[in-house]
Homo-oligomer: A and B are copies of this chain.
Amino acid sequence: MQYIQLRERVKSAVMFKAPVPRYAALKTYVCEQIEKGKWQPNDKIPSETSLAETFGISRMTANRAIRELTDEGRLIRIAGVGTFVLPPKVRGTILEIRSISEEIIARGHIHSSRLLTIEKMEASAFVARSLELEEGAEIFHAVFVHFENDEPVQLENRFVNPAAAPDFLSLDFTNRTPSDYLLGRLPVTEIEQTIEARLPSKQEAAHLAIDLAEPCLVLERTSRTGQMVVTHVRLVHPGKRMTLGGRNSFDNTPSIG
């Protein structure tokens, strides 16, 4: 078996260095050709068979390398035709928004929250539309204020579909945010959200202890599990005290969005 011999030869050559799997080596090689511009976007690259031959590896191994690059969005394969270099993905810029408690803790500060309201109510037109229920349907509603070192930084106005969390009203939210609870209970498969800047309502200003002229960052998010809307939340942040931030790498996998 040629493979064993080669493996041994490599081993002794590089001495105790971690051996790079052959499919990984091929992946690296292909990426290099693309990055060097040797293989341009939309170019056809050598076939599996040909790559396997020139690298002295089996077709299955070459297949794995190429398949993984395909899964990673760098190549596209068409059976019966060939494999082609995919143009770099033009993708929307992505902002990752951490949960409020994570965000605050990451800053080295103390997070706490106060439950202002928790109730069963009839869905208003707006809420009904968000939760995809009939107007007047029974829903759960909760309002929290989140504090960073005793300073209010987020007003959380949450509407919950009772079908998704029948026991919502009887939960203890002293040690767990509703978001944590809902996420742990149901796998959210889709979110839809918007961010806007606006002035606070009188009530919002009062709860956040800010001026009526203080611009606020308002995030509205609808979360779905499969077809069902689980919850809709409105998060109001005083502009002075809160900035949403994020950092994203695009090294490997694309996908999402």
Tell me how far the C-beta of A192 lies from the nearest C-beta in chain B, rounded to whole angstroms.
4
Give per-residue flags for A175-216: 1 if the beta carbon is below 8 A from chain B beta carbons, else 0.
Answer: 000000001100111111111111100000000000001011
Provide the bound-state CA to CA distance between A215 and B88, in Å: 36
Does A93 lie at the interface of the complex (its beta carbon under 8 Å from any beta carbon of B)?
yes
Provide the bound-state CA to CA distance between A197 and B153, in Å: 13
Does A78 lie at the interface of the complex (its beta carbon under 8 Å from any beta carbon of B)?
no
- Indicate if the CB atoms of A257 and B215 lie closer than 8 Å: no
- Indicate if the CB atoms of B249 and A190 lie closer than 8 Å: yes
Known: A189-B249, A248-B190, A250-B189. A95 touches B256 (CB 8 A): no
Residues of B within 8 A of A71 (CB): 71
Provide the bound-state CA to CA distance between A127 and B193, in Å: 31
**Set B96, B239, B253: member contacting A93, Cβ < 8 A:** B96
Provide the bound-state CA to CA distance between A90 and B199, in Å: 32
Tell me the number of copies of this protein. 2
Tell me how far the C-beta of A182 lies from the nearest C-beta in chain B, rounded to whole angstroms.
12
Tell me how far the C-beta of A158 lies from the nearest C-beta in chain B, rounded to whole angstroms.
14
Tell me how far the C-beta of A232 lies from the nearest C-beta in chain B, rounded to whole angstroms.
13
**Set B189, B192, B237, B251: member contacting A197, Cβ < 8 A:** B237
Does A5 lie at the interface of the complex (its beta carbon under 8 Å from any beta carbon of B)?
no
A:57-90 near B, CB below 8 Å: 60, 71, 88, 90
9 A-B contacts (beta carbon < 8 Å):
A93-B96, A94-B94, A94-B95, A94-B96, A95-B195, A192-B245, A197-B216, A246-B257, A248-B256
